[in-house]
Every structure is written in structure tokens, then in C-alpha cells.
Structure 1
Amino acid sequence: MEQMTKTTNSTPKISERAQAQRERILSAAQICFVDRGFHAASMAAIAETAGMSQGLIYRYFAGKDEIILAIIARELTDSRNDIASLQTGNQLAARIEELFSNWLAAREDTMNARLFLELTSEASRAPKILEAVKNSDLQAREDLGELFRRASQEHGRQLSEGELCWRAFSLQVFVEGLVVRALREPEVDPQLLTQSLQAFLPIWLGRSG
């Protein structure tokens, strides 16, 4: 009985360690993918950046494609958590402005603009990655639709499924456009984004349009 208790109690610690190792690998891979691109970033480079052996990386991922798929899955989880935490239009605007600020700063610990475009480019060549990206986009769109449904109901409106869908779609297009702006126009005045959000938020949230 004592031995069984020890085994049971140690299981969560092993799981937490494995998750920490996976996160360490994914963070290192993001840095390498941004610096070198997917194809030029070798497993050896990822291992060096992560400060571990290639053999240890292969215990968690079969190769770079699996790492890319895991990054997409992690981004979807983060995105869904973000959307679920939003309660007001002001929070949505603040989150979009925060994302844009992170992209301008080219932070390596987040889905920055260069990594987003690398993923998009790789999706055009790899069917599995394209499928993962599409599924991620559709899930995020569904979550945004639910956010807009709640927001519109709070203002006495009942939006149709079609109205929710185009609102969520247009927000995705807007945010993805900001990714390109962050790379092409890093000196852009943030006030332009604030003014744009003030114009579009009432439409997305079902207060007008």
C-alpha cells in the first residue's frame, strides 16, 4: 500500500516536468523559427537554444512538424482562454492593442508577427499544418461569435448566426492585418489603432450595423 501511494503521488510531478520540458522546447523552437525560418531551423539549433540534447527533444516530438503543430495548438489554447476572459468591449479593445504592442516589440515568448507569417507560409506547403491552422481559425471564429452573441444580447439585440459569423470573420481579418502592419510599419502611431477600434467595436459587438 505504501509503495502504491508513493507511485500515485509522484505521477503529477512527472507530468508537470514533462509539460515544462515541452514548453521549453516550443519556446526555443519559436526563437529558431523566427530567426532562421522553419526549413533552416534544424533540430540541433532548437536543442542548443533549449539547452538540451537532441535526443531529449525526440522524446517529446518526432520532428519539426510535430513541434509546429504543438505551437499551433498552444496558440489556440491561449486564444480561447483570452476570448473566454473578455467581458466587455473595452477589454476586447485593450487586448487587441496589447497584441499589436507585442507584435511591434517582436517579443519572442509570444506568437509574434514574424512567426505568424512563417506559420502561414508553411501552411501553404504542408497539408497537415494547413489543416491545423484552418481548424484553429474556425474554433477561434466560433468563440468570437459567442462573445459577440453575449455582447449583443446585453444591448437587447439578437444577432443571427450569419451576423455573428461575419462579425467574427471581419475581426479575424482586422487582427491579421495588424500582423502585417507591425512588420511593414513598426513606427505607426498607435492612436490610429485606437481610433479604428472605436469605429469598429460597436459593429462587432452588435450595438450598430
Structure 2
Amino acid sequence: MARVSQEHLDARRRQILDGAARCFARNGFHATSMQDVLRESGLSAGAVYRYFSGKEEIITAIAEEVFTTVRGAYAEAVASTPPPPVDVLLPAVLDRVFTHTLGGDDPLIFTRLILQVWSETLRSPELTETLRAGFASLLGLWTELITAYQEAGLMPREAEPTQIARVLIATAQGFIAQQALFGDVDPAAVRAGLAALLPTASRPHPA
């Protein structure tokens, strides 16, 4: 019997996650059954359960993809020397999140799933741990960025990097929530707003 290629396995897993994402975006996690996921993905129960033991594992996999997408954008910024200023970086990350598709061509599916993941952590200890780990990773990346901004003279050196990092993460979360609920967030407008609020974001701060 011929061995199934890794490419084929990955494609099947992607098919399941995309089908589940469409279901979750339409009806929410709790109103979606595994039968709904089977119908939407077009796969048999045996094929789906080969990858996931149930809906909880699918939800966790989607949560991990959310953090992989966001973390990847920030990791690229940390690797830049110097890193892009806040009023450039945050809108760029939001643009990546807003245009990322999971489940089809509608990018709103992704932001709506992010909101559902956040709310589901109130019920699921496993998902809470996934969210905590993801947040800790983002907080670490942002703290590195703030330190780099301080060294480049773009932020005052006396400021506490972790405190600023939390505020900026919350800003990004707020815009993600707005996009999921209303679908009218323009990253270019976000950049203009940040530039107005943080007039020194793109210019060296006095030593």
C-alpha cells in the first residue's frame, strides 16, 4: 500500500480546519456540532477523527493558528534593525490579521474567530492555557520592541517596557474586536491616529 504523503496529510488537516472555521464563524462554537464540521469539510468521520478527537481539539488548533499569524508579524519586526516605529508596525500587523483567511475568502471569518477564542477561554481550561502562552509570547516580543525603540531614541528610556507593551497589545486587540464586530477598520486610519497620539513614534526622542 502506497504511503500517504505529508503534503496530503497537511491538505486534509487544512480542509478540516477551514470547514470548521466556516461553521464556527456562522454559528459559534457551541451551536456547531461535529456533524456540521463533517458536512462542511466534505470528509468522512473517520477522516476527520484521524486528525482531531473532537471539537475541542479543533478549537484549540484554530486558537494556535491565530497566535501563529499574529506572533509571526511581530517576530519579523523584532528581527529588523531598527524596528519599524509603532505607527507603522501596529497597522501593518493589523493589516495582516485582517487579510488572513481561515475557512474561505472572507477575512472577517478570522477576526470573528479571534473573538470567539477569547470568550471561550472563560469556559475551557485547556484553551486558557493556550491563550496564556500566546499572550506571554506576544508580551515578550513587544517588550523587546519597546526596548529597541528606547535604544533608538524613539521612546523615553525611563518608561517601563512591559507596561507600554501591554497598552499596545490592548490597542491591537481593540481594533481586532472592532473589525470583527463592524468590519470597518482601515489600517491606514489606524496609522494616522497613532501618529497623532504618539507624535514621537517616528522621530528620535530627546536623550
Decide which of 136, 142, 145 is 2:143's aligned counterpart. 145
Give the structure with the larger helix fraction: 1
TM-score for both structures, normalised by structure 2: 0.77
RMSD: 3.4
Q: Note the 1:112-127 alignment, pairs <5 A.
A: 112-127=110-125
TM-score for both structures, normalised by structure 1: 0.76
Shift of residue 207, structure 1, vs aligned partner: 5.2
1:197 partnered with 2:197: no
- Compared CA separation, residues 102 and 117, structure 1 to 2 (3 A): same
Shift of residue 53, structure 1, vs aligned partner: 1.2
- Compared CA separation, residues 54 and 96, structure 1 to 2 (3 A): same
- CA distance in 1: counterparts of 2:23 and 2:43, whole angstroms: 14
Deviates more, 1:197-206 or 1:107-116: 197-206
- Compared CA separation, residues 186 and 18, structure 1 to 2 (3 A): closer
CA contact (8 A) 1:145 1:165 kept: yes
- CA distance in 1: counterparts of 2:198 and 2:152, whole angstroms: 15
1:34 — aligned with what?
25
- Compared CA separation, residues 179 and 107, structure 1 to 2 (3 A): farther
Instruction: Report the 3-state secondary structure (helix = DSSP H, G, I; strand = E; otherwise coil) of the residue aligned with 1:62.
Output: coil
Shift of residue 99, structure 1, vs aligned partner: 4.8
* Count of aligned residue pairs for this structure pair: 196
Residue 194 of structure 2 aligns with an amino acid whose one-letter code is L
- Compared CA separation, residues 205 and 69, structure 1 to 2 (3 A): farther
CA contact (8 A) 1:72 1:133 kept: yes
Decide which of 142, 145, 164 is 2:161's aligned counterpart. 164
Aligned residues: percent identity? 27
Shift of residue 147, structure 1, vs aligned partner: 2.2
Shift of residue 203, structure 1, vs aligned partner: 6.8
1:76 — aligned with what?
67
Shift of residue 61, structure 1, vs aligned partner: 0.6
Superposed CA offset, 1:101-133 (max 9, x none): 549xx9645763321221112111111111211
Q: Note the 1:42-121 alignment, pairs <5 A.
A: 42-86=33-77, 87=80, 88-89=84-85, 91-99=88-96, 102=99, 108=106, 112-121=110-119
Superposed CA offset, 1:112-163 (max 9, x none): 3321221112111111111211211111111121122223323387857x72
- Compared CA separation, residues 53 and 164, structure 1 to 2 (3 A): same
CA contact (8 A) 1:152 1:207 kept: no
1:14 — aligned with what?
5
- CA distance in 1: counterparts of 2:109 and 2:147, whole angstroms: 27
Superposed CA offset, 1:68-118 (max 9, x none): 111122222222221122231264144145157549xx9645763321221
Instruction: Report the 3-state secondary structure (helix = DSSP H, G, I; strand = E; otherwise coil) of the residue aligned with 2:160.
Output: helix
Residue 59 of structure 1 aligns with an amino acid whose one-letter code is R
1:182 — aligned with what?
179
- CA distance in 1: counterparts of 2:117 and 2:56, whole angstroms: 11
